[in-house]
């Protein structure tokens, strides 16, 4: 069933993959981020199915299904495709460090694709190359392995659409990016993105992002002349800091309104945005990284972004 044809107040995200691929640690990291505190120590394999949920934009109930990856459960799902009924997005987790099980994992992915066909699934399949930990970033061998896996998936499944992400439990921003991808399809945010992009281009921002108060990235923009080194050294670090700060503001019920930091090579600016919707008020955060900035000069354009956000969420 297409996501546009069902009750959007209930959204089903299914996480599939082999045992030990990291599905449960992936989801626990997200739960910790949304204040569902759990310990990752002595993690046990998921028995059949584990459920969790959270509210997105004061509107959507996001239901996460963690499907056990052990062989006996995989066989059970294959015999009972009803488990996948109503799936809005499938996240398929591949342990990028476990080369010996790549063939097994890609075979199971094809099995899940066949199951999804039975349930008339039409959306993209979101593949996460998980355990791509920070220490492996920039490693040519890992990068090549990832490229080869992506190409195999596309070649072996030519009739399906995929989106690919590198994720790690030790990089919460990478998990946020992956989860944001599907959730942002629930609301038409094109106007918000276009407004943010024009705003950024007009003022030569290196990076600009809008987060909700859980740290979810609603829209972001970065200059296309940025090289990988700049992204790694500046933007990725800034996103991590933003997510930590937003969580801190929320937990402390902070009266935070804005913050300006003038660093050696650039300026970082964060401002709290308030929007009013039929379902109540929602706080957002606008985060900007730019060579130079005077907040007063952009205040009217920030108000325009608040207005467009409100319209998009009605």
- Of 83-97, 183-197, 218-232, 270-284, the range with the highest mean pLDDT is 83-97
Is the pLDDT reported for residue 255 higher than 80? no
- Closest C-alpha among 48, 44, 51 to residue 20: 44
Average pLDDT over residues 203-214: 87
Q: How far is Cα 225 from Cα 100, in angstroms, rounded to an integer?
A: 38
Identify whether the C-beta of residue 64 lies closer than 8 Å to the C-beta of residue 53: yes
Least confident stretch, 122-131, 256-265, 288-297: 256-265
Give the SS3 label for residue 83.
helix
Sheet of 89-95, strands arranged across = 49-56, 60-67, 10-17, 89-95, 125-130, 162-166
H/E element, 150: helix 140-156
Mean pLDDT, rounded, of the chain: 81
Measured in Å, how far apart are the chain's first and last C-alpha atoms? 24
pLDDT of res. 35: 47
Q: Provide the total of helices (H) and of strands (E) in the chain, helices listed first.
A: 9, 11
Q: What is the dihedral of CA 50, 2, 190, 289, to 10 degrees?
A: 20
Specify the higher pLDDT residue, 58 or 111.
111
Domains of the chain: 3-183 (3.40.50.300), 190-313 (3.30.450.190)
- Of 18-32, 66-80, 131-145, the range with the highest mean pLDDT is 131-145
**The model's pTM:** 0.71
Distances (CA, A) of 279 to 158, 169, 187, 276: 41, 33, 14, 8
Q: What is the pLDDT of residues 32-74, one digit of tens each?
A: 655 443 433 333 444 457 777 777 777 788 888 888 777 777 7
- pLDDT band (50, 70, 90) for residue 301: very high
Average pLDDT over residues 241-261: 77
Give the SS3 label for residue 92.
strand
- pLDDT band (50, 70, 90) for residue 299: very high
Tokens 């972004």 found at: 305
């Amino acid at each position: 069933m297409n996501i546009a044809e069902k009750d959007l107040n209930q959204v089903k995200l299914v996480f599939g993959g082999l045992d030990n691929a990291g599905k449960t640690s992936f989801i626990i990291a997200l739960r910790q981020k949304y204040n569902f505190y759990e310990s990752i120590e002595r993690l046990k394999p998921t028995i059949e199915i584990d459920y969790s949920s959270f509210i997105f934009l004061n509107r959507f109930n996001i239901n996460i299904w963690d499907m056990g990856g052990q062989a006996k459960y995989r066989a059970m799902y294959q015999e009972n495709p009803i488990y996948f009924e109503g799936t809005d997005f499938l996240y398929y987790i591949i342990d990028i460090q476990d080369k010996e099980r790549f063939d097994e994992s890609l075979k199971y992915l094809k099995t899940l694709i066949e199951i999804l066909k039975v349930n008339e699934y039409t959306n993209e399949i979101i593949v996460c190359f998980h355990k791509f930990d920070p220490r492996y970033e920039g490693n040519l061998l890992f990068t090549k392995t990832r490229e080869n896996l992506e190409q195999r998936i596309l070649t072996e499944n030519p009739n399906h659409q995929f989106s690919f992400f590198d994720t790690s439990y030790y990089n919460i921003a990478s998990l946020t990016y992956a989860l944001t991808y599907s959730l942002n399809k629930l609301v038409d945010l094109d106007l918000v993105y276009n407004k943010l992009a024009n705003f950024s281009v007009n003022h030569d921002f290196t990076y600009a992002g809008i987060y909700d108060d859980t740290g979810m990235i609603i829209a972001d923009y970065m200059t296309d002349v940025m090289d990988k080194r700049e992204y790694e050294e500046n933007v990725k670090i800034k996103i991590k800091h933003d997510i930590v700060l937003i969580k801190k503001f929320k937990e402390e019920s902070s009266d935070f309104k804005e913050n300006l930091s003038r660093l050696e090579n650039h300026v970082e600016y964060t401002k709290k945005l308030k929007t009013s919707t039929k379902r109540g008020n929602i706080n957002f955060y606008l985060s900007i990284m730019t060579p130079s900035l005077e907040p007063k000069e952009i205040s009217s354009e920030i108000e325009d972004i608040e207005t467009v956000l409100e319209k998009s969420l009605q």
